[in-house]
Structure 1
C-alpha cells in the first residue's frame, strides 16, 4: 500500500478491465492522456476504477481540500435572439414570460437575499436584440460602485461576441471597455459541445465552437480569467465529449486562462429535446472523472450541485471534483429546464455537505484566493 496525499493508506490500483491498465500507468506517471484513452475511460464498465484514478489526480493536486464560494446569480434578461433547442430560459421578444431588468432593479436584486456577504456576482443572460452595449457596461459599473469588494464574473463567450458585434467593435476592443467598467472575469457557459454536427442541431443560432474557443483566447489575452463548460447528456457521443475537452486543453496550453472545468448535465424538461432522458448518476460521476483525467492542465474541476443535486455532488468529491460551486442564490437558467434542486444554499450547508463527504471545506473567491469570514464580512487572503 501507498499513502495518499490526505495521509490515509491507499490500496494499489485494481480492475478487471484490461483497457484501463495502460491508462493507469500513465496517470501514475503523470503523463498526458490521449483521445483513445478518453474513449476507453468512457467505455469502461469499471466506473469505480475510473473514479479511483480521477481521485488520485484530484488528491495529488488538492489533497483533501474542497472549494466553494458565496455567490449570487444575476440574469438581467431572458429575451434572446437565439433559438437553442437545449434552452428553456431564453424567450423571443414579445413572448409571454419575458423580462428585462431595469438597472436599478438589477442593482437592488444584487443586494437582496442571504445576509452573508457575497464575494462574486455571476452575470449571464439572453442575447437581447435591442439592449445597447452601454446597458451592460452601466450594469457592471453600478454594481462596482455599490459593491466594490465583490468580484464580477460576467458575460459568457457567446455574450462577449454578441455584444461586440452589436456595438460594432472588435472583441478585444469590447473587452477593454468591459474591463474598464468592472468585469473581473468571465463565466464559461455557452460552450455546449464544440462538434459542428451536434452544434448545428442544438444551438446553431449562436457562435460556433471555433468562435467560442477564439473568443476565450481573446478574453485570456485581455488579462481576464474564465471558466469552461461542457453540456453533456443530449445528442452528443463520447467522441464529441473527448474532442470538446481536448480542444479546451489545447487552448489552456496556449493561454493558461481557464480556471475551472464545469461539466453540465443536460436537463431536457421544457426544451425541444424534452423527449430525451436525464443523465444518470453513473453518467454524471463518469463525466467528472474523465474530465479530471483528460484536463491535466486545468487546476480545478467543478461539480455544479445545482445540476447533479447536492447528494451526487458529495459523491463527486471522490470522483475527481474539488469544487462544488457556491451559494448561487436564485439561479434561473437550469430551473427553467426543470431542475428541482434549491435555487440557493447557505454557506453552512455547503460546508456540512463537504465535511460529510470526508473533505475539508475551503471558502474561496472567484480566483481561488482563500476567504476569511466573520459573520457577514470577509477578508480575501491573496
Structure 2
C-alpha cells in the first residue's frame, strides 16, 4: 500500500484526535497505519556515528547544553587525524555512514567544510556523509555571501550524500524567537530543505517536543513538513524526540514518555506522505523505543556509536547493534540494516509474512 493511501487528516481533525483519544487508542490507529504502509514484519536501523566536528557555536540556543561560545576555553575543532580515527573506528565496528554536525563557527569558511568532505571521501570512499543542518547552511551562506543553492552545491560536489533535519526544533517562529532567537527562522529551514531536495539530496525531518510550545505550534510544524513533502518528496523519514532540560538554560518540565508516544502516533497519522517514522530510544531509552514500534514507528534509527549533544544534557542511553536487533526481535519484527534512503543494507532477503496488529 502506498503512503498516499492513508487518509489525510486536517489540522482540526488532528486536534480532535489529540484532545479526545488516549495513548492506547491513538497507538492502535497509528500502528494500523504503520502496518498499512509496511506490512512486512520489518524494523529498520542504521549503523553509524554522530561526529561533532566542533562544539563552537555563535547561536547560543537556550536548549543546548553542548555548545561553547567562540573563544571559550573548552571549544574545539577536530583535526583531520582525530576525524579520521573516529571514522576508521566506525568502519571497524561495521558502520557505513557518519552524521557530521557542528555549530555556527564564525571562523570556519566554506572551504573548511568542502576540504573536510573531500578528505573523508578520499580516505573513506565507502562511508556516506549525512551532514550539517539547515541552520549551518544558512549561516555559511550569509558568511560567504552565497545563495543557499550555491552552498549546498559546493558541499554536494565535495562529497555530501544527504542532509539531516537538525535545527528544526519547532517550526513556529513564536517558539524559535524565544528559545533560539539567533537561529534561522522556520521559513529559512524549509527553504534549505527545498533547495536540497531540488539538488537531489535526500533529507530527514525532525522535531523536538517540550520547548514550551502549544498544540497549535506542533501542528504548524507537522503541516510545514507535510506541505514541503507534497512539493518535493525529498524527506525519507520523520524523527520526533523530547527535549532534555539537564544542563541547559531553558527551564521547562520534561516531556513524559506517554506524551512522546501519543505525539509519535499522531505524527504517523498526520504525515501521510512520509514513509518512515523513527523511534527515539536515544532520549526515551530502549524499552520506550521498543514500545514506539507499536505507536507508528517502523525504524529504530542509529546504533549511535557516538552521541554528544543529548549526552551533554545528562542522558546517556547506548546500544550495541546486537542489542538493538534484540529489541526488534523481542517486539516480533525482523531487524534489517538500511542505508539513509531506506534501501536494505542486509545481504539476506527478509522473510515476508503478515504481522497482525497487537491492539
Report the TM-score when normalising by structure 1.
0.87
Which has the larger displacement, 250-259 or 326-335? 326-335
1:40 pairs with 2:31:
no
The offset of 1:114, in angstroms, is 7.2
Deviation by residue 1:343-378 (Cα, 9 ceiling, x = unmatched): xx221111101111111211101111111259xxxx
**What SS does the corresponding residue of 1:126 show, helix, strand or coil?**
coil
Deviation by residue 1:189-244 (Cα, 9 ceiling, x = unmatched): 10111112111101110100011011110111111010011111120011111110
Match of 1:358 in 2: 332
1:316-335 equivalences in 2 (<5 Å): 316-335=292-311
Match of 2:110 in 1: 133
Match of 2:6 in 1: 30
The offset of 1:112, in angstroms, is 2.0
2:237 to 251, 254, 260: 260
Match of 1:380 in 2: none
Conserved 8 A contact 1:119-1:151:
yes
CA–CA distance in 1 between the matches of 2:82 and 2:22?
51
CA–CA distance in 1 between the matches of 2:6 and 2:303?
34
1:218 to 195, 213, 229: 195
1:112 to 89, 96, 101: 89
1:248-327 equivalences in 2 (<5 Å): 248-273=225-250, 275-327=251-303
1:336 to 297, 312, 319: 312
CA–CA distance in 1 between the matches of 2:36 and 2:265?
14
Match of 2:38 in 1: 62
2:52 to 75, 78, 82: 75
CA–CA distance in 2 between the matches of 1:152 and 1:239?
35
Conserved 8 A contact 1:119-1:366:
no
User: How many equivalent residue pairs?
Assistant: 346
Conserved 8 A contact 2:202-2:236:
yes
Conserved 8 A contact 2:44-2:337:
yes
Report the TM-score when normalising by structure 2.
0.93
CA–CA distance in 2 between the matches of 1:96 and 1:127?
17
CA–CA distance in 1 between the matches of 2:60 and 2:27?
36
1:155 pairs with 2:139:
no
CA–CA distance in 1 between the matches of 2:61 and 2:78?
22
Superposed CA RMSD: 1.8
CA–CA distance in 2 between the matches of 1:69 and 1:60?
23
Deviation by residue 1:113-162 (Cα, 9 ceiling, x = unmatched): 57322121101111101011111111111111121111110111111111
Conserved 8 A contact 1:106-1:139:
no
Conserved 8 A contact 2:65-2:313:
yes
Conserved 8 A contact 1:260-1:301:
yes
Conserved 8 A contact 1:288-1:319:
yes
CA–CA distance in 1 between the matches of 2:269 and 2:6?
10
Deviation by residue 1:261-315 (Cα, 9 ceiling, x = unmatched): 0002100111111x32211111110111011000000010111211111110000
2:323 to 330, 346, 349: 349
CA–CA distance in 1 between the matches of 2:314 and 2:81?
29
